[in-house]
Structure 1
Amino acid sequence: MSIEIQNLTKIYGQQKAVHEISFTAKKGEILGFLGPNGAGKSTTMKIATGYLGATAGKVMVEGIDVEKNPIEAKKIIGYLPEHNPLYLDMFVHEFLAFSGKVNQMKVSDIKREVKRVIAMCGLMLEQNKKIGQLSKGYRQRVGLAQALLHDPKVLILDEPTTGLDPNQILEIRKLIKEVSKNKTVLFSSHIMQEVEALCDRVVVINKGELVANKPIEEFSKGITEETQLRVEFKSSIDTDLLKGISEVKGVEEIQEGVYRLRVTNSEEARSAVFKLAGESNLPLVGLQEEESSFDEIFHLLTKEQ
């Protein structure tokens, strides 16, 4: 595996920011790392990049123990923190060249790689401007350019689209998708649309603990035994009739004659609805199973107990 996080724990005083979480990511995979604010996402990513030490557990990147060999690990990691640290008085090309020196790149390679990431990140027209003159969107591009400059095998992005407008988000999303073809990307976000559009696998933490680790297609199917049915009649009916079905655990009227049912056995519940409609002479217009939205699943996983 390209990234291996094993029983990772981080304690601040009496608070467990991260508690024994484990997950992996392989080459070519975009792993969505989700959780509400304060869940421990940024702490985990800082530990994974070697900027913060763990209380217990370990992080392996391309087989390198980040704690034991932080310099070697950082050489193959590209990191864009949540709060993008930039030198605002430096010109874009100047900052990227400086970043290349910090990454101990060969002087002969820096000029070529700076040119490459400037083109890749759409900074051609801005390369001779001071970073302080740039918009939030272009500053994010500069941050992403520095993360990509040394052609890392692993890319760790902490909320890379925060504060961007819809057009900028689409551009950054396209860029992340493109670079992920030969890299491993760990992508932190609390924006469900971003995760759904970008990620191959989803890991969710809440209050420092792992609560989900699934491929994106399985995550979209939900997390409980219950499913949802959308039932439409020609006109409103007595909801007690629907509540009387043993598989139905909840009934919500969406609009006149249209109901959302929470059921424990979709097949049995559908049969029972058809039987009810026939025996009670209720004009049934439509019946279909609904998938839970990413937002609904995320809420269920991270809600206060």
Structure 2
Amino acid sequence: MLTVKNLSRSFGDIKAVQNISFTADKGEIVGFLGPNGAGKTTTLRMMVGYLQPDSGTIELDGENVFDNPLAASARIGYLPELNPLYNEMTVEEFLRFIAALRKMKEPYLSERLEFVRDNCGLDEVWKQKIGTLSKGYRQRTGLAQAIIHNPDLLILDEPTSGLDPNQILEIRELIRELGENKTVILSSHIMQEVQALCSRVIIIHKGQIIVDDSIENLSSYISETTQIVLELEAENPDFQPWLEQYPQVQLTDIEPKDDHLAFKFTIPIEMDLRKELSAFVSEQGWYLISMYRETQSLEEIFHLLTSEEPFYTEEEEEKEEEEEVIEGEEISSEEVNESEAEPEEETISLRETEEKAQEESSTKEQK
């Protein structure tokens, strides 16, 4: 299990990560999302030991990763967004080099090389120099180095970047299989990928976690209601008797289709009345064509949640306003001092001119 407790990291005055905490279990694929500048990459780099936190801990099965970095590294696989590769090496040479750094020995090494060669689709380019590879094959090679040592924790930052649609499906299936017995943290800007692979999502914004929940529950963070759409064939259907039983429910729209009607009901998000609604339709003898819950896409939810203003406290806002006022006063004071200094310099200069003129006049009179 991965456990992150009260993790913080700053760069000068910038608070990149602010006291975040979460856990991820074995056999779980967790989507770790955030807009650019949210602190997502900083958190991932701390999780793999690349950056030290200012405060807080990161634990693998109860062991702090910073107490024994080498032992922790042996249990972590990392594919960074900017995939670092050695262009002059062939794919095989590079993976053998990574394996040597991880002190992998035969026959286990041969077994793992064969695994990544087959599962990452590298057979065609196995002897080819990395500098000649397409972006898709470079990404596959990066994924291969992340999993070659069979890590317990796999951290993937944009794992399908540069892949074509067929390759994306293959890598997704590989990640899904790996996630059955590993802890996988997946970061991606492709929301369809997150929906396809992850059962749970963590969203970080302005250095703080604003959502940590299952994908099914994300709609509750942007709305207190949900919509059920019911399509049926009937003559003059009347839902008033059913609505009287559930005063919290509203019939908000009726849309005529080609040969049937579509009814939209707005229901509190904590209620699921699809069984009761279908039972009522059956009792009336109406022909039910379809019924479904209308949901927003993960992309829409992500946009709504992360396009809000930063999460400032009133004290922070007041402090910023005070600092702006102080800076304004300092600027005004400097401007005043400068404006006062200029006339003084002019006065001194004029006095010197007058004194010089008097001296010259006195000299002439003496002559």
User: Residue 123 of structure 2 aligns to a residue in which SS?
Assistant: coil
Kept in 2, the 8 Å contact 1:97–1:111? The answer is no
In the alignment, residue 38 of structure 1 is paired with which amino acid?
A: G
Kept in 2, the 8 Å contact 1:229–1:266? The answer is no
The alignment's C-alpha RMSD in Å is 3.3
The structure with more strand, counted as a fraction of residues: 1
User: Residue 146 of structure 2 aligns to a residue in which SS?
Assistant: helix
Cα 1:59–1:265 shift into 2, 3 Å = closer
In the TM superposition, 1:44-193 aligns within 5 A as 44-106=43-105, 108-193=107-192
The CA deviation at 1:97 is 0.3
Q: Which of residues 294, 299, 302 is equivalent to 2:298?
A: 294
C-alpha separation in 1, matches of 2:83 and 2:51 = 17
User: Residue 124 of structure 2 aligns to a residue in which SS?
Assistant: coil
Q: In the TM superposition, what whole-angstrom CA distance separates every residue of 1:130-174 from its partner, at most 9, and x where no partner exists?
A: 111111111111111111111111111011112322222111111
In the alignment, residue 11 of structure 1 is paired with which amino acid?
A: S
User: Which stretch shows the higher mean deviation, 42-51 or 163-172?
Assistant: 163-172
Cα 1:180–1:247 shift into 2, 3 Å = closer
In the TM superposition, 1:165-244 aligns within 5 A as 165-219=164-218, 223-228=222-227
Structure 1 counterpart of 2:282:
none
Cα 1:70–1:289 shift into 2, 3 Å = same
Kept in 2, the 8 Å contact 1:5–1:23? The answer is yes
C-alpha separation in 2, matches of 1:286 and 1:120 = 40
Cα 1:261–1:298 shift into 2, 3 Å = farther
Structure 1 counterpart of 2:323:
none
Structure 2 counterpart of 1:26:
25
User: Residue 182 of structure 1 aligns to a residue in which SS?
Assistant: coil
In the alignment, residue 156 of structure 1 is paired with which amino acid?
A: I
What's the % identity of the aligned pairs? 50
Structure 2 counterpart of 1:276:
none
The CA deviation at 1:221 is 5.8
Structure 1 counterpart of 2:244:
none
Structure 1 counterpart of 2:16:
17
Structure 2 counterpart of 1:40:
39
C-alpha separation in 1, matches of 2:101 and 2:61 = 21
The structure with more helix, counted as a fraction of residues: 2
Cα 1:296–1:67 shift into 2, 3 Å = same
Q: Which runs of 5+ in 1 are unaligned?
A: 233-244, 268-284
C-alpha separation in 1, matches of 2:293 and 2:262 = 13
User: Residue 125 of structure 1 aligns to a residue in which SS?
Assistant: helix
Structure 1 counterpart of 2:359:
none
C-alpha separation in 2, matches of 1:51 and 1:298 = 28
Kept in 1, the 8 Å contact 2:48–2:78? The answer is yes
Cα 1:43–1:201 shift into 2, 3 Å = same
The CA deviation at 1:263 is 6.9
Aligned length: 280
Structure 1 or 2, whichever has the larger Rg, is: 2
The CA deviation at 1:207 is 1.1
User: Residue 181 of structure 1 aligns to a residue in which SS?
Assistant: coil
Higher RCO by CA contacts (8 Å cutoff, separation 6 or greater): 1
C-alpha separation in 1, matches of 2:293 and 2:118 = 46
The CA deviation at 1:294 is 1.2
C-alpha separation in 2, matches of 1:20 and 1:129 = 45
TM-score in terms of structure 1 length: 0.80
The CA deviation at 1:123 is 0.8
User: Residue 152 of structure 1 aligns to a residue in which SS?
Assistant: coil
C-alpha separation in 1, matches of 2:227 and 2:99 = 53
TM-score in terms of structure 2 length: 0.67
In the alignment, residue 294 of structure 1 is paired with which amino acid?
A: L
C-alpha separation in 2, matches of 1:292 and 1:158 = 25
Q: In the TM superposition, what whole-angstrom CA distance separates every residue of 1:161-207 from its partner, at most 9, and x where no partner exists?
A: 12322222111111101111211111111221111100121111111
In the alignment, residue 74 of structure 2 is paired with which amino acid?
A: K
Kept in 1, the 8 Å contact 2:136–2:161? The answer is no
Kept in 1, the 8 Å contact 2:4–2:57? The answer is yes
C-alpha separation in 2, matches of 1:104 and 1:54 = 28
Q: In the TM superposition, what whole-angstrom CA distance separates every residue of 1:67-95 from its partner, at most 9, and x where no partner exists?
A: 22111100000110011100011000000
The CA deviation at 1:215 is 2.1
